[in-house]
Amino acid sequence: MSRIIKFRAWSKTDHKMIYKVLCGNTETDNPCSAVLHKEDDFAWTEFDKFCGEIMQFTGLLDKNGKEIYEGDIVDVGKGLIYLVEFKFGEFRFYSLNSRLYGGEEYHISIGAHSRDSKVIGNIYENPEFLIKQEVL
């Protein structure tokens, strides 16, 4: 099975999500760097971990047809909110309702639940979701 490989990036300087991102080493040989396209000035620029965060598309869509990326916050129903992360060689939904599980890290398979989920934000544009979950 193949999937579309693409990325987005959160720009710390512009405080916005950039969707035209090409990842790979640049001439500086910085392993944390990438090149991204800034739509507003039609230019390619070097981007590293000090500029922001790069997130990969999971290859899956939510129930409304919206693409699911790393860093997205999804609602899988019944008041359960998850963060999409890539760990241990796979994409997973990690619970933001950790108090429901005694503070333990809890995850579910992203593939089994993506069709029933709804992307409700991401950790960069909607950090309030993380704060709300901590004080439950």
Domains of the chain, residue spans: 7-53, 57-134
Residue 91 has φ and ψ, to the nearest 5°, of -80, 140
Question: Which residue type is seen at 65?
Answer: G
Mean pLDDT by 10 residues, the chain (136 residues): 81 85 62 60 65 88 94 88 88 76 66 82 87 51
According to CATH, the superfamily of the domain at 57-134 is YopX-like domains (2.30.30.290)
CB 17 within 8 A of CB 9: yes
Assess contact for 85 and 91: CB atoms under 8 A. Answer: yes
The pTM for the full model equals 0.78
Q: What is the 3-state secondary structure (H, E, C) of 99-118?
A: HHHCCCCCEEEHHHHHHHCE
